[in-house]
């Protein structure tokens, strides 16, 4: 599974500096030998995580007592809120080959690769209207569908038909990524994208052609915004990078 590959490549000797769980995003800051680094992940909550039933984060208030390795292992949690802490930690601990990345919008990549083709996107992104104009057919799969979206449960029907597939990195938080990527045709162009996406070449061994994620360059600015309820666009101190196979 992708989470096992990512965990095996984390710099778990780092020291945890801060953990923030905001309204929309989770941020974890660590101190590595190369300097301070932070990672982001979408802060989600599942229907089973009503606060009167069980706390979404069981050790809330004590996460700073965890080691970096222990926080990263939270990606395995059945609680998507805890899994977001795990993924944010992984994003802080992974080595990112910044010179190998390019600064390009994921939506522009989908427009280019999907021109006059059948495109499927898992997750509703702001660039959906631009992509829809450029492609022959567009399916958008969502857990909480908006107008024009399809329920995520239709992935098994839709993804095998697509020539180009975009998968939100948030699927690593809700543990659906491995099943989704397995549904894509071997010849399809597959991209994992969004602020939660680890900028790691490990995805390429699983049939992925590009990963578009976030590299935090100012941990303090990013953590401050996250803790004040920022949406992704409001988070400062970040670069949007894409790594191609």
Give a yes or no: residue 242 inside a domain. Answer: no
Query: Residue 191: which CATH number?
Result: 3.40.50.11590
pLDDT for position 146: 84
pLDDT for position 50: 54
pLDDT for position 73: 97
What is the dihedral angle through the alpha carbons of 65, 66, 67, 72, rounded to the nearest 10 degrees?
A: -150
Number of domains in the chain: 2
pLDDT in tens, the chain (245 residues): 899 999 999 988 899 999 999 999 999 999 988 788 999 999 875 555 555 567 889 999 999 999 999 999 999 999 999 999 999 999 999 999 999 999 999 999 999 999 999 999 999 999 999 999 999 999 999 988 888 899 999 999 999 999 999 999 999 999 999 999 999 999 999 999 999 999 999 999 999 999 999 999 999 999 999 999 999 999 999 999 999 99
Same domain, 82 and 104: no
Find the domain containing 68 and state its range: 2-95
Same domain, 56 and 76: yes
Rounded-to-integer distance, Cα 186 and Cα 38, Å: 34
- Tokens 């970040």, residue? 238
Is residue 87 a contact partner of residue 172, using CB atoms and an 8 Å limit? Answer: yes
């Amino acid at each position: 599974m992708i989470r096992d590959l990512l965990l095996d490549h984390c710099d778990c000797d780092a020291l945890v500096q801060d953990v923030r769980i905001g309204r929309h995003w989770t941020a974890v800051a660590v101190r590595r030998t190369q300097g301070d680094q932070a990672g982001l992940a979408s802060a989600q909550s599942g229907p089973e995580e009503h606060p009167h039933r069980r706390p979404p984060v069981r050790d809330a208030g004590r996460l700073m007592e965890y080691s970096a390795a222990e926080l990263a292992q939270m990606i395995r949690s059945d609680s998507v809120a805890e899994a977001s802490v795990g993924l944010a930690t992984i994003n802080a601990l992974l080595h990112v080959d910044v010179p190998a990345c390019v600064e390009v919008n994921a939506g522009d990549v989908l427009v280019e690769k999907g021109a006059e083709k059948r495109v499927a996107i898992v997750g509703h992104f702001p660039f959906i209207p631009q992509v829809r104009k450029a492609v022959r057919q567009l399916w958008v799969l969502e857990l909480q569908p908006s107008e024009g979206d399809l329920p995520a449960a239709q992935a098994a029907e839709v993804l095998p038909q697509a020539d180009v597939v975009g998968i939100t990195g948030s699927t690593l938080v809700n543990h659906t990524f491995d099943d989704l990527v397995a549904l894509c045709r071997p010849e399809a162009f597959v991209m994992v994208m969004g602020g939660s996406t680890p900028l790691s070449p490990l995805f390429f061994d699983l049939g992925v052609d590009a990963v578009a994620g976030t590299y935090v360059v100012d941990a303090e600015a990013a953590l401050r915004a996250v803790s004040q309820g920022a949406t992704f666009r409001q988070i400062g101190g970040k670069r949007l990078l894409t790594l191609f196979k």
